[in-house]
Each structure stands twice: as structure tokens, then as C-alpha cells.
Structure 1
Amino acid sequence: MPMPDQDPAPTGESDVIAMLRAAGEVDPHRLDFPPVRNGVDYLVSVVDHLTAEGDRDPRDLKYAVLHLQAAAEVLLKARLVREHWSLVFTDPGKATRQKFDTSTLQSCGVPAAAERLRNIAGVDVTTRDEKALAELAQDRNALQHFGLTRDVPAVEARAGRVLDFLVRFLDGVLLPGLSREEVAAISSDVNRIREGLSAIHTFVTARMRRLKGELADYKDRTVVCPNCGQLAMVADGSRNRCHFCNTDESNMVLMVGFLVQSLNAPGVRVRACPRCQKETLVDGARLASEPGPVSFCFGCATRIPDTSPGEPR
């Protein structure tokens, strides 16, 4: 874990112990969660809920999604505040110090925070990171306002991608700006998060390894599942079932998803298939049997040789 170098190092073992003790002391009568510590605490909760032993209660998945979204929001905004406090306002042009100091501001969402970090603060937030954060926000909104039905493997796989980003964000962006005392206060929790993330990745890798043989006969029509992000969805021309997370989607639902995706991914488009004439041909699809993106028709469950793409739909 990177340690900031602006403070002098302790002179001996007793000083180190004293520093750790002081950093870890908590007044039980006072709620004291500075932004980074608050975000890390949410991440600990996420890991605990996703790695609980035995049969997992549905509430574990609920709070994993809610707390992961809360962690992303808190940690990204902590870095924005470090750049300038006005950047966390929905409209920075109408920011006032009084609203910021009294926490009465209307703050920006995670997508806007990620965009401002990249464009203003120069923080490396990739398109893949933003996609993972956007998917998390969708899960959170569905759960909070409409109810959410998700299988455990899908939640773990999606959460793992966001956890990956947030751990990198902590290491490379937030921790170097903290004092030694602040780093010491959260170091054990950060290590606990790393162990949980490793367990989630191990689960995903082991499950995909088990599925490799099961899907061998279908690799020419196995595509990426939009739900869990794994290369495990088998298309059959009508319904499409993911063997990783058990999602079962119709072609119509998938086409809507690909159309939305095409807004941010120029290489992806939906058009009419020259073979079956249905509007189910996706350019830029990933196929288990091919190393790169291909044109795949969900209507005939077949890879279509390169043809003139025409106008995007």
C-alpha cells in the first residue's frame, strides 16, 4: 500500500504502535467517518455480504449492491473535493461555500463524477471502468425503486469489476494524498477488501473453468452475457440462456441492450440480417470461437460473414 511521504516517519517501534493505536481509537459516542474511511467501510460491508459462508440471504445481495454504489459515490467525490470543492455540485457554476460546509448541496451523480475526474483532474478512468460503474448504478436504481432480481453469480461478477476499479482508485489516487495516520486507520480494512476481491475472482474463474467443457459444443454461438459480463450465453435463435448466471433473455430484450450499448461503442450496431431478414444482426459481438469482434445474428444463432454494414439502426 503506498504511503505518503509528507510526514516524517516514526522513530521507533513504540512510535509506530502509538500511531496505529491513536488512528484506530474510536469514540463510541461520536459518529466520525471522514469520506475515504466512510467509502472503505462501505467496501468492507460489500465484501462481507458477497463472501458470507453458507446459503446467502437475499438481503446480502441487496446490501452488497447498495453499499457498493455508496462506496463508489463517496470515494469518487472525495477525489473531486481534493481538486476543488465546487466540483461535487450538480452545477458547479451555482456552488456556494455555505452549502458545501453545511452539506445542503445537491451533488452530482457517479457518471458525472467519473467524467469530471477524467476531464478536469486528469484521473485515469477508462471506458471499461465507466461501463462497470454505469451497470452498478442501474442495479442500484432498479433495486431501490423497482425491485431487483439477480442471481448470485451475476452480482458477484459485476461487483468484482467495480471493486477492481475502486481498489486501484484507492491505491493510485486517494491513498497517496492521505496522512500516515489516515492510512493507518484504514489499512486493515483495505487488506480485508483485497482478500474478499481475490475470493470473488477465484469464484468467477473456477466457475468459468467448470463451464468450459459444458459449452465446448456451443462455442460458435456462445456470446457475452449482458447481465454478468461472462462469455457464457448460448443463443438458440429465440431465447438466450447464460450458463454462468442463468439469465434467460429474449432476442428483443437483447437487441434493446445492444442498441443502448451502441451509443457509447461505435463498433457495435444492430441491423437486418441478410440471411433471416430479422433485425437481430449485431456487428461487434464477441463470440467464444473467435478472437475478435464479429457479426452475429441472434435470429438465426449464426455468425454472419462480413457484409456491407449499411446504415446503423
Structure 2
Amino acid sequence: MTAVDLLTFGESLVSLRSAGPLALGGALTMHLAGAESNVAIGLARLGHRAAWVGRVSDDELGEYVLRQLRAEGVRVDGVTTDPARPAGLMFLERRTADVTRVRYHRTGSAGSALSVEDVRTPIAEGARVLHLTGITPALSGSARDAATWAAEAASRSGTLVCLDVNYRARLWTREAARATLTPLTAYASLVIASADELDLVDEPGADESTVVARLLTRGVRTVLVKLGADGARAHTRQGVRHVAAVPVTAVDTVGAGDAFSAGYLSGHLDGLDLDGRLRRAVTVGAFAVAGHGDWEGLPRRAELSLLDGHETGSTIR
């Protein structure tokens, strides 16, 4: 695998979606899911060279994961097929129009067995950006070691390291997350978090201004705070920028944060200034929430202007 624009690694799941309560039965539809693969797909759709690394089961479900990623133009050269472990599963049930519940079946999965050896060669081959999330180190001790080793190695080689906190309460406690993620920020140039995740890279209960100041002191260049429907804030040593969300009719918020990250990183790779990166981030995020699925509604580069000045229910003829 030659050097890519973006390298990311973690667990890609097979997602089984239900339109109603799981307990009542009914049809399930199969999808690809996973924060890191969502970001890789987002970058690939925008024309960047993106690669995803991980471990997949040696069966039809593992082949499904690889098939979906290849179809979206994501490189999977470094993926390891694990004959001894199953695919990780995620069940999503739509309980109300505004509430979706998630159930994981990923303990002992192929993806959770990720290790330093799985990422050593891809890191050595190089990338302009390494994208990490707080999900991967929550999977297992070996996955935690892989994330830490990769962040340090990539930072040392001059690769921009992006850390998206992406806290998952079903995977680990806030205390465990804080103990792992705070040291990881020493290698990150870019930290992304929701407002309620910021103290996971600092002290418990620390407010936004305190966390940001400490991160910038540690060497982080940009701290992005995702605000959902209120847009986002970007903190740098030069000050604070706020960008409003692009107004759309939200139908599915799963994957919105990953879309935001993909848009921002695309802007960085294209050499846009901070305002341009933020505008692209909220634009890609808007596409994500306006369609169903983790990544299915993400735009291609030619579609980025579709939401400029649009009106609800508009048709482009």
C-alpha cells in the first residue's frame, strides 16, 4: 500500500437495523458501520486517497465489510482476516422518531483483536493524516496498545494525528476513557469532541475553556467542539471560530459526527483555511443527518454545493 491521504483503523461492524422495537421482531436490514470506516468513506467520496486497517472475520460477514469498503473506494490492503473470531455486530432499533437505541455484540470479535502488528506496516508506509477515535482503544488491551503506538509513531514521522474522542458508554467508563485518551492528546494536532466529551481529555468536570487551554499548551493545534444543531466551535492559538449548522430536515443522526470529521479533514487536505474547513465540516454533517444510514448519504465532491441556499423540499432539475 502506497502513502495515502488518510489512514484510519478500528473495528468495522455489521449493522442490523430495525424500523421498530427489536423485541417485536420484523425485518432487519444489513449495513456497514464503524466510526473509522465512516470517516474513510467520507474522505474517499470527496476524492481523497483513504485507507482503513483492521481485522475482519473469515466468513461472509467479513467479506461483506471488505466488499462495502472497496465499493466506496477505500483501500483495504492492510486488513487482516481472522479465522478464529466472529464479526462484530451492532443492532439499531428506531424506538421513536427522535430516539434510536444501539445494542452491541462485539466482545471477542475479530476487530477487537487488533494489535500493534496490524498497524505497523501501514504506519510505516505513511499518510498525510492519521485519524483515531476513542472507540478503538476501548475494544481491548491490544487495541489500546495499537492506538497508542500508532499515535506516537505517526506524530514522530510528521503525520498529522487527529483524535476524535467519540465516547461510547457501552464500551467503557468515563474514568477508563480519560486514563487512556488524555495521554493520547500528547501526539495529536487535532482533537475533536462533543461538549460533554471534553473533560475526557482532561480532569473530571473541567470546563471548555480550561480543557482547550491545556490542550493547546500540550501541543494540540486545533480543538473542534461539535455542537449538533448549533454547529461547531474551533479553538486555536489565534482565538475561537464558530460556524452555524447547515439547516436541513434531520432524519437520522447516526454517523453525523464522523461526517463532520470527514468534512473537516477533507478541507485540511485541500488546503482550505479554518473557516473553509469548518464550512465543509458542517456541510458534510448536514448531508449525513438528512439521509438514513451511517454513511450512505455522504456527498461526493460535485455535490458539496447542493445545500448552498437550498429550500426545504426543493428539487434540482
TM-score band, normalised by shorter chain: under 0.3
Normalized per residue, which structure has more helix? 1
Which has the greater radius of gyration?
A: 1
TM-score by structure 1 length?
A: 0.24
